[in-house]
Structure formats: C-alpha cells, structure tokens
C-alpha cells in the first residue's frame, strides 16, 4: 500500500464535533435523532403524491419542484444539515407505506430524496431506485452484493455521499440495523493502537464485484480515511470487498498489520459501547452520511409468503456540491462511480403510479 499526504495532524489530533458519538449515549435519547411525521406533514405528502400524478411524469424524472412540500421542505433542510455537519444520521418515522402501496411509497421516497441530494447509479444496470431484499444469492459469489442476500453484513460504508433506506416490510426475525460513528472508531484506533493509525490513511484496494465496464479495472483504489488539515473525517470501509480484492494478482497482498487494523475496526464498531442498534419498522426511513457513519445488518429469516418478505427501497444520493459540472461525483473520499453498462436503463419509463425500476 502507498502512503497518503496530510496525515500528520490527523494522527495526533482526535476527531471532534457532533459527528463523534457513542451508541450507548444515544440509545436512550431517541428524540435527538428521530423525526416523527405529524398528521399535517402526512397530509402534505399525500397532496404531493397527487400533484406528481397530475403532472403525469415518470418516477425517475420527478424533481422536488414536482413534489411540493411547503412546510416539510424546511424540516428536510434541517435534516440535510444534520446529515452533513451534525450527527450524520436521522430516522424518519411514520411514512404510511401500507396505506400508500408500493408504487406511491416509491414516489414518496423518491420525492423526499430530491430534497437531500442527487440520485446516482447503484449498480452496473444504472438503477437509481434500488430494492434491498433476499434473492437467494450468496456473498461467496464475487458478483453478489450484500443487499441481495439475507446474510449478516459487518460494518461498512456504501458508494455514495448519502444512503437512504425506506422499510416497506420487515423480516420474520433478525435484520437489525446498526450504526456507528466513523470518527469515534477512528479515535479509538488512535487511542488503542497508535502504531496502526497511520494505516488508516494508506491506499487499499476494493473489489468492484463485477460492477465495472469492459476495460476498467475490476477493483478500486482508495484510502480508508481522508482528513484534510485535521478537519472533518471521511471514512471508506468494507472488509468483504477489501479481502475479496485479493483474488486479483495485480492487487498488493494485505500485510498482517492490515488484518490487525481491520480486526480492531470491526471490534470497536461492533461493541455495545460504540454501536447504535435500530430495528427498522415498516414506514421507517433511515438517512445517513456514508462519510461519517458505518452501518451493519444482522442475518435475517424471512417469511415464507413472497408478499410478506423483507423489502427496503434504497437511494444513493450525491451531495450537490460534490458534483462536477459534468455530473461526476467529487466526494470527500473517492467512491466507486458505477457507470451503467446501458445508460438508458437508468431512465424512468413508467408513469405514476406504476412499477418502479430497481434491482430484481
């Protein structure tokens, strides 16, 4: 691995500010990070759905202007501030997904997302609105990604600035989501193993899980951490992808100290002291900043009937000021920019209400 610059101050000054938190301190203070939609706000959402239908637009062409939220929009601005400059996550409760049905719930999810960022592709098919559900696939297959399985997913970050998850249906058992402050984990590494801290800023190689175009490298290179001038931290971590990238002979071999670092990150992130556990219920919308928050999921057991099985909608959102003029993302930490194999597949073709595109 090669070293990065601007690490000296970061290795001597712990991260500070609201993005540094511990789960044990937040577990009993849900009012600080939960937004419960009021009856008036729900009426406003229903009105926005009717307006979107009136305009007869395809779902993926729907903008914030087509989904007017006169009083909820300022609340979403405060949510955006919290995501980028505050704690890094918000749980919105009360979206009536059962009453709305899947098509209208998808429109609400998409419409709310328009107030927070710009959707970006989540896979090589160009899907902007993703579906998180068990497809029977296994992570042992290098073409499989975690959201397609029921397996436990250790703490990791996603390939966008913001992650949005809307729960439509819950599993029979399991599937608990956990969050952890990346800055708190970073500080714990500095405190417990200062000899490993420098490795956070080295360049590593992540498996792209076959989500790349012909001629592109099947792996991406990036540091685990970036911190300019001792300022805000941006973390990128996915041990599964770090280890599966070792199948490529061009990728440098992980050293024993790298494995020690990964073990420590996993240990700290998974400890009750640091992690915050959340059971996502139907109608819950989880929003998080992937630069400052890592998330995990426990294994789950699903219902036998297909219509009852666990199902979440997912958006990957780019912050507007992280986009270049040509639409390319300029995240604080380099992310995998997934370029669709067929750009037309990312365009919506169905009027509201109707089937939404996503992973099947």
pLDDT reported for residue 360: 28
pLDDT band for position 224 (50/70/90)?
very high
pLDDT band for position 12 (50/70/90)?
confident
Q: Is residue 141 within 8 Å of 148, Cβ to Cβ?
A: no
Burial class (CB in 10 A: 0-12, 13-18, 19+), 12: exposed
Angle between helices 39-55 and 72-85 (to 10 degrees): 100
Residue 109 tokens read as: 């999810």
- Three-state DSSP class for residue 294: strand
pLDDT reported for residue 139: 83
The dihedral of CA 97, 102, 104, 110: what is its sign? positive
Q: Give the pLDDT confidence of 151-204 residue by residue, as tens digits.
A: 999 999 999 999 999 999 999 999 999 999 999 999 999 999 999 999 999 999
pLDDT reported for residue 13: 87
pLDDT band for position 331 (50/70/90)?
very low
> Any idea which of 31-45, 60-74, 129-143, 342-356 has the lowest mean pLDDT?
342-356
pLDDT reported for residue 66: 95
Q: Is residue 33 within 8 Å of 289, Cβ to Cβ?
A: no
pLDDT reported for residue 354: 34
Q: Is residue 177 within 8 Å of 297, Cβ to Cβ?
A: yes
Residue 138 tokens read as: 């296994």
Q: Which helix (H) or strand (E) holds 41?
A: helix 39-55
- Proportion of the chain above pLDDT 90, given as a percent: 71
pTM comes to 0.89
| 4 pLDDT more than 50 | no
Over residues 317-342, the mean pLDDT reads 57
Q: Give the pLDDT confidence of 14-67 residue by residue, as tens digits.
A: 999 999 999 999 999 999 999 999 999 999 999 999 999 999 888 889 999 999
| 329 pLDDT more than 80 | no
Would you call the peptide bond into 279 cis, given omega within 30 degrees of 0 as the criterion?
no
Can you list the domains of the chain with their CATH numbers?
Answer: 34-346 (3.60.130.10)
pLDDT reported for residue 201: 95
7 vs 350, residue with greater confidence:
7
**Residue 286's closest CA among 177, 115, 164?**
164
Residue 238 main-chain phi, psi, to 5 deg? -160, 95
Strands, sheet with 276-278, edge to edge from the N-terminal-most edge strand: 153-156, 293-297, 177-181, 276-278
**For the chain, how are helix, strand and coil distributed in percent, rounded to 5?**
35, 20, 45
Q: What is the mean pLDDT of the chain?
A: 88
pLDDT band for position 2 (50/70/90)?
very low
């Amino acid at each position: 691995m090669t070293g990065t610059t601007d690490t000296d101050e970061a290795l001597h000054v712990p991260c500070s500010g609201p993005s540094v938190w511990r789960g044990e301190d937040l577990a009993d203070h849900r009012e600080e990070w939960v937004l419960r939609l009021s009856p008036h706000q729900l009426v406003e959402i229903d009105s926005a759905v009717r307006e979107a239908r009136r305009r007869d637009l395809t779902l993926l062409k729907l903008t914030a202007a087509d989904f007017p939220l006169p009083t909820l929009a300022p609340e979403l601005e405060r949510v955006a501030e919290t995501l980028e400059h505050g704690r890094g996550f918000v749980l919105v409760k009360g979206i009536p997904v059962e009453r709305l049905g899947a098509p209208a719930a998808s429109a609400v999810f998409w419409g709310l997302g328009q107030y927070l960022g710009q959707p970006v592709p989540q896979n090589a098919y160009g899907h902007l609105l993703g579906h998180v559900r068990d497809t029977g696939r296994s992570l042992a297959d290098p073409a499989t990604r975690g959201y397609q399985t029921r397996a436990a997913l250790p703490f990791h970050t996603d390939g966008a600035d913001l992650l949005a998850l809307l729960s439509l249906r819950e599993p029979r058992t399991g599937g608990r989501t956990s969050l952890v402050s990346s800055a708190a984990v970073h500080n714990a590494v500095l405190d417990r193993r200062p000899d490993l801290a420098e490795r956070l800023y080295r360049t590593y190689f992540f498996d792209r899980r076959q989500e790349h175009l012909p001629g592109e490298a099947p792996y991406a290179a990036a540091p685990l951490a970036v911190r300019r001038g001792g300022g805000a931290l941006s973390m990128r971590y996915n041990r599964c992808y770090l280890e599966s990238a070792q199948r490529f002979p061009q990728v440098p071999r992980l050293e024993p100290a790298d494995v020690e670092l990964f073990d420590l990150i996993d240990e700290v992130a998974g400890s009750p002291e640091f992690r915050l556990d959340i059971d996502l219920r139907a109608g819950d919308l989880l929003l998080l900043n992937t630069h400052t928050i890592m998330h995990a999921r426990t294994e789950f057991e699903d219902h036998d009937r297909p219509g009852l099985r666990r199902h979440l909608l997912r958006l990957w959102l780019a912050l507007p000021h992280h986009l270049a003029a040509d639409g390319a993302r300029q995240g604080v930490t380099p992310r995998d920019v997934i370029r669709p194999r067929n750009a037309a597949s990312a365009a919506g073709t169905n009027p509201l209400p109707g089937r939404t595109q996503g992973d099947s």
